[in-house]
Structure 1
Amino acid sequence: MTPSLRRLTREQADLLKNPDPTFHAAPISASNLYDWHFTLQGPPAPSPYSDGIYHGRIVLPPTYPLRPPSFRFLTPSGRFEVNREICLSISGHHEETWQPAWGIRTALIALRSFMDGDARGQVGGLDVGEEVRRRYAAASRGWRCEGCMGRLFGEEEGEEGGVEGVEGRTNAEVLEGWWEFCRERGVSVSEFGDEEDKKGEGDGEERQEGGDLRAEGEGDNADLGKEEEQGERKGDQEPSTIGSLKSDTAVSGRGDAQIHTTTWTTAAASTPSTTTTQPTAVQQQPDHTPQQRQMLLQPQPQTHQQQQQISPDTPWLDRAIVGVIVALVVMILRRLARDE
C-alpha cells in the first residue's frame, strides 16, 4: 500500500471514529479511495444556504497529500456552478496555499465556511440573488445522486437506501442516517445537524485521534517525498500542524482569510528568532528570588580573584618586554659602532 493510500485509509477511519454531523464523506467505491462523494449541511442562519443540504465530489491526486484535492458541487446551490471544479485556496487551483497537514475533514469544514463568501469572479463561482439561493437550498434536500445513490459509510453497491433500494437516498435522508450514526457515537446533534456537545470521554478521544492522524500524516508525507524525488512539497509541514487546522479542523468565519492566516502563522513559527530571546531574559530578571540572585552573583568574586591573580604577573611581563627591546637597541648601536 502506498503512503497516499495509507493516509486516506487513516482519514477514513478517523471520520468514522470522530464523526462530524455537518457533513458525510466517503469513497464512492471501496476499490477506489481517490474518488469521494460528500453531503454537506449548509452554513447556519442567517445564511441563505442554512436550509440546504448539498452533494458534491472530491477527486484526490495520486500524490495526495502533497498535492491538494479538487472539489465540485453536484447539487445546484446558487453559489457554485454544477459539476465544475471550484477555485478555492484549498483546491487544486491554488497548490501554493495547500498544506499537506490538512485533510478531507479540514477541507470540507473550510468549504462550508466559504459558501457565505462572494464569488468575485472565481472559477466555478456564481453570483445570484439571495432568493434564488434560498430556493435552491429548499430544493436541495430532496436531490438524489445517481452516482453513489446516497450510500452511507460502509455500505456497498446494492445496499442503497430509498424506495426499494432503487432510487437511492435523498440528501436529507443521507444526513438523517449520518446523524443517527453520530448519536450512537456520543455526538449530540441539533435540529440543523450542528454539533452541540460531546461526552467528555469522546471529546478526549477526538483530540487524541486528531493528533495521531496529524503525526501519521507527517510520516506519510516523508515517505511520499522519498518515493518521488522530483515531487514538490507544497506548504510547511507542521501539524500540529494542523489540525494546525490545527486542530486540523477548525476553519470558521472568513474561510479564505483563515487559511492564509494559518499559512503565515506556520511560517513565522518555523523561523528562528534571536531578538525575542533577549527581551524575555530581561523581563525575567526581576522575578528572581534573593537566593537565585545570590547564586547568580556567586561566580563574580571568582572572576575578581582570577583577575587579581593575573594582575601581579602583568608588570613582570612588561619589564621583560622592555628588557628585550633595550638589548636589541644596544646590539644595534654596537653594530653601528663597529662599522664606523
Structure 2
Amino acid sequence: MSTTGQFSTKSPTIKRILKESQELTLHPSPDFSAGPLESNLFEWHFTLRGPPSPSPFASGLYHGRIVLPPSYPLRPPSFRFLTPSGRFEVNREICLSISGFHEETWQPAWGIRTALLAIRGFMDSEAGGAVGGMDADEGVKRRLAGESKGWKCGTCGKENGEIMRENEELCGEGEGVGQEKVPDELRLGYREELGNGQGKEVAGRAGDETGKGATDVSKIVENNQEDAGRTTTDTLGGVRAPRALPAQMPVRSVEQRVHQQTPTRVPARPPTTDTAWLDKAIVGVAGALIFMIIKHLFL
C-alpha cells in the first residue's frame, strides 16, 4: 500500500522524492535498483552492483538503506550497507562526502542516482579509518561478493539476485540511461577520501565504470596543485613590484613637497631710524598735554 496520500504533495521535499522515484522507474539503471518503501517515503532501499573487474567487488550485489532528512534535498541523505561486503560495516551509517557526515560538501542538485553512482565508484578505495568503513582482505571481499547474490533483505523480502533480475527486465522495457557518469564536481569532493596515494587507483577503476568521458581524479588534483603554484608565484610577483617603487623614488622630491606645504614664517624687522624720531615726538607732545592739563587744574 502506498503512503503518498499521507503526505502533502505540495511540500517541496515530497515533490522532490516523488520526482526522483518516478525518474528512476522511467529511466532505470543497469547498475543499481532503488526506491522508497511503501510504508515510508523517507526510507529507501537499494541494491547495487559492485564496481567492474578487476575490482574484488565485481561479482557482488549489495543491498542497503537510504534515509532522507525532512529537509531533503537541502540536507544530504545517510547511507547504510546491509549486505556484508568487507568494505563497509553492516548496518552502520557510512562517512562519505555525500552523506550526512559532510553536509558542507552536499549540493541540492545531486540526488539518489548521483549518490549511488558515486558510492559504486568509491567502493575500491581504502577505508582509511572513516566511520562505517573497513578494510578486509581481498580474498574475503571476493568470497563475500560471491555470497551476496543470495543475501535476502528482511524488509524487502527478496534476494539481491532476484531484485537485480527484475531491474534488468525494467531496463529492457523502459528507457535505459546507458553509461552513467558521476559529475566531475562530485568526484572532486572526494579529495579527502582519495588522498594518501589512493586517487590514481580509484580514478582508473571509476573510468572503466563511467566510460571514456570519466576524468582521472589524480590528474585533476595534480593540475590544480600546479595551477595553484603558478598562481601563488604570479601573485607574489605582483605584490613585490609596487613595494619596489618607493625605494626608487628620490628622497629630495619628498623633502621638496614637505617644504612647499609648510607655511613660511616672516621674522619681525627691528625699528629703523626713520621711525625713531616720530616715536620721540609723540611722547613729547603727550607729555606737554599732560603738563598743561595739570597747570590748568591746580593754578
TM-score, normalised with respect to structure 1: 0.51
**How many percent of aligned residue pairs carry the same amino acid?**
56
Alignment-derived partner of residue 11 in structure 1:
20
SS across alignment from 2:65: strand
1:158-210 per-position Cα deviation (integer Å, ceiling 9, x unaligned): xxxxxxxxxxx21011101110110012539xxxxxx569xxxxxxxxxxxxx
| Equivalent pair of 2:63/2:81 in contact (CA under 8 Å) | yes
Question: CA–CA distance in 2 between the matches of 1:42 and 1:98?
Answer: 24
8 Å contact from structure 1 (residues 43, 50) kept in 2: yes
Matches within 5 A, 1:126-165: 126-149=134-157
| Aligned residue runs from structure 1 range 124-273, under 5 A | 124-149=132-157, 169-187=158-176, 195=178, 253=206
Once residues 103 and 119 of structure 1 are traced to their aligned partners in structure 2, the CA distance between those partners, rounded to angstroms, is: 23
How many Å apart are 1:127 and its aligned residue? 1.0
Shift of 1:243: 9.8
Where do 1:81-120 residues align within 5 Å?
81-120=89-128
Whole-Å separation in 2 of the counterparts to 1:56 and 1:104: 13
Q: Please show how residues 27-66 of structure 1 align to structure 2 within 5 Å.
A: 27-29=36-38, 31-66=39-74
Instruction: Confirm or deny: 8 A CA contact 1:102 1:243 kept in the other structure.
Output: no
- The equivalent residue for 2:239 is none
Larger RCO (CA within 8 A; separation ≥ 6): 1
- Give the Cα separation in 2 of the matches to 1:139 and 1:123: 25
Cα-to-partner distance string for 1:2-56 (whole Å, 9 max, x where unaligned): 1101000111111111111100001121x42100000001100000000000000
* Structure 1 Cα separation of the partners of residues 79 and 44 of structure 2: 10
Quick one: structure 1 residues 196 and 3, their matched pair in 2 at CA, closer, same or farther if it must change by over 3 Å? closer
The answer (yes or no) to whether the contact 2:35–2:44 under 8 Å persists in 1 is yes
| C-alpha spacing 1:128/1:89, structure 2 compared with 1 (3 Å) | same
Q: Which 4+ stretches in 1 moved above 6 angstroms?
A: 242-246
Equivalent residue for 2:79, pick from 61, 71, 77: 71
Shift in CA distance, 32/43, structure 1 to aligned 2, threshold 3 Å: same
Aligned residues: 186
In the alignment, the residues of structure 2 paired with residue 50 and residue 148 of structure 1 have an alpha-carbon distance, to the nearest angstrom, of 23
Q: Secondary structure at the match of 2:79?
A: strand
Query: Structure 1 residues 118, 243: CA separation in 2 closer, same or farther (over 3 Å shift)?
Result: closer
RMSD of Structure 2 on Structure 1 (CA): 2.8
Structure 1: distance between partners of 2:179 and 2:128: 33
- 2:97 alignment partner, SS class: coil
Amino acid of the residue matched to residue 175 of structure 1? M
Provide the rounded CA distance (Å) in 1 between the counterparts of 2:68 and 2:179: 31
Equivalent-residue separation in structure 2 for 1:170 and 1:243 (angstroms):
33
Q: How does 1:309-328 map to 2 (within 5 A)?
A: none
Q: Could you tell me which residue of structure 2 aligns to residue 302 of structure 1?
A: none
Q: Partner residue of 1:159?
A: none
User: How many angstroms apart in 2 are the aligned matches of 1:13 and 1:139?
Assistant: 31
Larger radius of gyration: 2
Counterpart amino acid of 1:58? I
1:172, 1:148 → 2: CA distance?
A: 13
- Residue-by-residue CA offset, 1:40-92 (whole Å, 9 max, x unaligned): 01100000000000000000000000100000000000000000000000000
Unaligned runs of 5+ in 2: 1-8, 188-202, 208-213, 225-299
